[in-house]
Structure 1
């Protein structure tokens, strides 16, 4: 559509107060309710005073249909939402806050390469954020962007609304989980998946509880209840250490969003010989069955086992494989710790963990360094498979 702009300031003006002249007309897309303005080839901005009535705007109309879909599914969202990277700022049509942050842009007959090039600036700086582009276009087929950005083409406003609804359905049924630490999630190419067991292998490090607490807190704040099975520390110690990192797990425990199960005293002491394979399997099945009851009763979606060794019963490969197969049927994502001797250690469990991160401290030239080794994950940049990190005074993870 064409709307008047002031000659000074290059901003939209009210038609009633400033009759348009031929030199101050520009073609824009404007939402008459949220007032988001897209100046093709220029900057994005929003203006509180400018209002166009009785003008058909397919993108704006689709946006308001989309808000109804979001409300139906009880999703938290912002319209519009600005994001700033090092080189520029951009206003996305919608930001949906779920486990991941989803940024959505809507266009009408926008140039595919232009919008993709513009959006990739933000994806490269914030790689763990999900970004999708929806465009009413004469090209009716969706296109592969060659990146993690999704692109959907629609034939009309109604088709656009349909694709937005399908996108929301995919979002709310997703079995992919964020770890919960931005710097770490930015390294991983994919999130964590339900019915998989991931390992945190640790040597000479006291920061394991930081990672586990962040993992559970991320879920608890996004409707994913967590269960922490401790076979090493007392529940009181876990709460104390989490609090020292500024992570208020205790409040989430009180709110029944995180549950702590003390396996030190609750797990049955089991006497066996290594040849009692069926007896060992039967005992593992009983233990997993008890865990499964907790998961069902409290709708657990994130499970932490710290550490996994006592559940293995026997160090033999058969019992370990059987345990992992049982854990992968619990309909949640499992994070288990495993204590290793040094950074070069390998264990039988490495074959069965879907992904492995090593956390530890090393001495280098008389200095102590905290390191993360991405041992078994697909990552965006292989140069970051081994990184040094610090936990800042603000209790955020800083990767060097």
Structure 2
């Protein structure tokens, strides 16, 4: 089994028996507002804290908005180890590297080519694509998307980097089958109050805690309570 990589969330690392297995691709899924981007940013910032290079591709939330939102949690997105690509529809251009621009949000293959180009400049220990939903919606042919996604997972595996993909779609059959692990974020109404639950539904190559555990989004980000059980309705 490979080296463990911290998610940056102690309670989630505990559920994963020490963290993610390095060099693999993982899916974080959940409805809007569940904290997928915040979880992905914990993962990214944990790498930065370790002195690792991190590549973060934002496909939905413009970079400036993301920087402002994440500052509220104390995340510094200006660190030299952190590289962000703004591929949102509102971005006037998509910055991949100095003097090189290309629009790639509409295609998984273009996304892969762009990431490979980045790796020619320097090695990235961690990569985040947030959310993969945008690429899936833009691909009209399911068979083509399946082929592209399989190619993507194999290719980033060869780059020996640890990848987190986020998704808002409830049906993520193809993605869940091909990735090494799936973390699901859910919201419930319990006794008239909003409750949040996190569950690991797949974690290839390791044992894990498959119980749904409560979590909160606090001033310092996500806190997972691995010794508590969510009383489901």
TM range (shorter): 0.7 to 0.9
CA contact (8 A) 1:231 1:307 kept: yes
Specify the SS of the correspondent of 2:51. coil
Answering whether residue 5 of structure 2 is matched by residue 177 of structure 1, we say yes
Give the equivalent residue in structure 2 for 1:370: 196
The one-character-per-residue Cα deviations of 1:119-170 (angstroms, maximum 9, x if unpaired) are xxxxxxxxxxxxxxxxxxxxxxxxxxxxxxxxxxxxxxxxxxxxxxxxxxxx
Structure 2 match to 1:233: 61
From 216, 221, 224, the counterpart of 2:52: 224
1:339 aligns with 2:168: yes
TM-score calculated relative to the size of structure 2: 0.77
Q: 2:20 aligns with which of 192, 215, 229?
A: 192
In the TM superposition, 1:237-386 aligns within 5 A as: 237-250=65-78, 252=79, 256-264=80-88, 265=91, 266=94, 267-268=103-104, 284-312=108-136, 313-314=139-140, 316-330=142-156, 331=159, 332-341=161-170, 345-377=171-203, 378-382=206-210, 385-386=211-212
CA distance in 1, matches of 2:152, 2:49: 27
- Could you say what the CA RMSD is over the residues aligned between the two structures, in angstroms? 2.4
Higher relative CO (Cα under 8 Å, sequence separation at least 6) belongs to: 2
Tell me how far 1:333 sits from its aligned partner: 1.0
Structure 1 unpaired stretches of 5+: 1-173, 271-282
Q: Following TM superposition, by how much is the alpha carbon of 1:187 offset from its aligned partner in structure 2, in angstroms? A: 0.9
Superposed CA offset, 1:217-272 (max 9, x none): 1111212211111110000111112111222223x2xxx211110112433475xx
Deviations 1:40-97 (A, max 9, x none): xxxxxxxxxxxxxxxxxxxxxxxxxxxxxxxxxxxxxxxxxxxxxxxxxxxxxxxxxx
* Ranges in structure 2 where 5+ consecutive residues have no aligned partner: 95-102, 229-233
Q: Highest Rg: 1 or 2?
A: 1
Report if aligned partners of 1:302, 1:333 keep a CA contact under 8 Å in 2: yes
Q: Is the 8 A contact 2:15 2:209 kept in 1?
A: yes
Counting only pairs closer than 5 Å after superposition, residues 63-82 of structure 1 correspond to structure 2 as none
Q: How much does 1:394 deviate?
A: 4.8
- The residue that corresponds to 2:100 in the other structure is none
- Which secondary structure does the structure 1 equivalent of 2:54 belong to? strand
Q: 1:285 to 1:393 in 2, by over 3 A?
A: closer
Whole-Å Cα distance in 1 between the matches of residues 57 and 199 of structure 2? 24
Q: Aligned pair in 2 of structure 1 residues 395, 286: CA closer, same or farther (>3 Å)?
A: closer
